[in-house]
């Protein structure tokens, strides 16, 4: 069985690595010159508007999925007509490609989120600033990731600069949330409607990029996790979803506010490779293939540290027990995710001690 995957980054690489023990093979579609899946699986290198290449990609495939949500929707629609199964469904991809649609979806489904307004012009932005107040975050509706396409407005003088900085494209203005913590809940749903959720993961971002995840989330009280789990379950059902879905939340005051969703395996779920009974990657494959979902249980305390921009000396990580390295084979560049380290321990204290050892050796732990 060959699984087709749009996007050939590290998420694709980890999907393939999870699929080989199940006897699966993979075909990727990725336009970049270099891709983390190279050397690991067949890859078609072409642009997403090359329909002849897309047809070649689809040839003989039973199922296509994606590891990257900014795939042009026309390419996905083209494939959906040519393969028996395309998951997660097109509707979920469309909603999550556009922050305004995504926030409207949460609102319509009764899932609490930061107050927001869609803005299409500088005049609309000024009016939205007057209504929502400052500080506020301006975000492009489309193509934002890892903090790209975002600007923080502190005072009204920032309005024109922020609008220009983001290129004068359709945006959403969102209330700035002085959150206590950030966390995510990753869920998976099979085509038969079966759902499994991983324990909440507490995340630290810097410059909009995920730095560290801890699971189970140490600072997230049960009632916040319960609210988030209900929101993820509801989202999976409302979208008639198949596959892995991640939703990121802010914990602010007494509220868990949904910030955004990703219709794919997610960086904050990398810890599940070593830390959960079944990884998010294997469960995504199980879901899109219509196989029974695997257990999402964990019996460890886990930290996942992203390696961003440059890979530090990893001797200390190699020396620690139950500490796992994942290097994606990417050329180093500022802000680029090059790999991650997962530390797994039987107790929270041991986890803190191992993180302190890594920090002392010059590895960023938060």
Query: Which residues of this chain interact with ligand AMP, rule CB under 6 A?
Result: 114, 137, 144, 147, 174, 176-177, 182, 205, 208, 248, 259-260
Please, which residue, 10 or 278, has the CB nearer to ligand AMP?
Answer: 10
Q: How far is the CB of 115 from ligand AMP (least distance, A)?
A: 9
Please state, in angstroms and rounded to a whole number, the distance separating the CA atoms of residues 352 and 348.
6
CA-based R_g, the chain, Å:
20
Please, which residue, 67 or 248, has the CB nearer to ligand AMP?
Answer: 248
Structure tokens at 262: 């990703």
Please, which residue, 208 or 329, has the CB nearer to ligand AMP?
Answer: 208
Please, which residue, 13 or 181, has the CB nearer to ligand AMP?
Answer: 181
Q: How far is the CB of 270 from ligand AMP (least distance, A)?
A: 16
Please, which residue, 103 or 286, has the CB nearer to ligand AMP?
Answer: 103
Q: How far is the CB of 206 from ligand AMP (least distance, A)?
A: 8
Is there a contact between 94 and 100 (Cβ–Cβ < 8 Å)? no
Q: How far is the CB of 150 from ligand AMP (least distance, A)?
A: 6
Please, which residue, 83 or 209, has the CB nearer to ligand AMP?
Answer: 209
Q: How far is the CB of 95 from ligand AMP (least distance, A)?
A: 15
Torsions phi, psi for 11 (to 5 deg) = -70, -40
Please, which residue, 174 or 225, has the CB nearer to ligand AMP?
Answer: 174
Structure tokens at 359: 């920090």
Torsions phi, psi for 24 (to 5 deg) = -90, 160
- Beta carbons within 8 Å of 156's beta carbon, 6+ residues apart: 126, 129, 134
Please state, in angstroms and rounded to a whole number, the distance separating the CA atoms of residues 236 and 324.
31
Please state, in angstroms and rounded to a whole number, the distance separating the CA atoms of residues 279 and 68.
18
Please, which residue, 67 or 182, has the CB nearer to ligand AMP?
Answer: 182
Q: How far is the CB of 213 from ligand AMP (least distance, A)?
A: 12
How far lies 265's CA from each of 55, 69, 160, in Å?
Answer: 25, 10, 36
**Residues linked to residue 150 through DSSP beta bridges, in sequence order:** 139
What is the distance in angstroms between the CA of the first residue and the CA of the last residue of the chain? Answer: 40
Helix axes 51-58, 73-80, angle to 10 degrees: 40
Q: How far is the CB of 289 from ligand AMP (least distance, A)?
A: 29
- At CB < 8 A and 24+ separation, what contacts does 33-36 make? 34/330, 34/331, 35/8, 35/9, 36/8, 36/9, 36/10, 36/12, 36/328, 36/329, 36/330
Q: How far is the CB of 26 from ligand AMP (least distance, A)?
A: 28
The DSSP call for residue 20 is G
Reference 94, options 110, 112, 75, 113; nearest CA is: 75
Please, which residue, 96 or 278, has the CB nearer to ligand AMP?
Answer: 96
Q: How far is the CB of 252 from ligand AMP (least distance, A)?
A: 9
């Amino acid at each position: 069985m060959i699984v087709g995957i749009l996007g050939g980054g590290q998420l694709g690489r980890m999907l393939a690595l999870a699929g080989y023990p199940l006897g699966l093979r993979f075909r990727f579609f990725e336009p970049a010159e270099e891709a983390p899946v190279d050397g690991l699986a067949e890859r078609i290198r072409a642009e997403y508007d090359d329909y002849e290449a897309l047809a070649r990609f689809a040839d003989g495939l039973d199922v296509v999925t994606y590891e990257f949500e900014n795939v042009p929707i026309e390419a996905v629609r083209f494939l959906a007509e040519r393969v028996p199964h395309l998951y997660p469904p097109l509707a979920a991809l469309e909603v999550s490609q556009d922050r305004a649609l995504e926030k409207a979806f949460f609102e319509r489904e009764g899932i609490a989120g930061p107050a927001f307004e869609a803005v299409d012009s500088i005049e609309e932005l000024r009016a939205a600033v007057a209504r929502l107040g400052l500080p506020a975050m301006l975000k492009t509706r489309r193509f934002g990731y890892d903090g790209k396409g975002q600007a923080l407005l502190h005072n009204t003088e920032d309005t024109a600069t922020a609008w220009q900085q983001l290129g004068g494209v359709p945006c959403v203005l969102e209330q700035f949330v002085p959150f206590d913590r950030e966390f995510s809940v990753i869920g998976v749903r099979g085509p038969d409607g079966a759902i499994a959720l991983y324990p909440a993961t507490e995340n630290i971002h810097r410059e909009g990029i995920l730095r560290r995840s801890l699971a189970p989330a140490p600072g997230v009280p049960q009632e916040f996790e319960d609210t988030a789990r209900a929101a993820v379950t509801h989202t999976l059902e409302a979208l008639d979803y198949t596959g892995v879905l991640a939703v990121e939340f802010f914990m602010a005051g007494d509220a868990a506010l949904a910030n955004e969703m990703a219709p794919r395996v997610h960086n904050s779920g990398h810890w599940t490779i070593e830390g959960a009974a079944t990884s998010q990657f294997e469960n995504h494959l199980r879901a899109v293939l219509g196989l029974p979902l695997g257990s999402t249980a964990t019996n460890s305390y886990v930290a996942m540290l992203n390696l961003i921009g440059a890979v530090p000396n990893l001797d200390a990580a190699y020396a620690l027990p139950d500490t796992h390295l994942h290097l994606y084979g990417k050329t180093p560049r500022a802000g680029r995710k090059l790999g991650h380290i997962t530390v797994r321990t039987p107790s929270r204290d041991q986890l803190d001690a191992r993180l302190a050892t890594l920090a002392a050796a010059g590895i960023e732990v938060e």
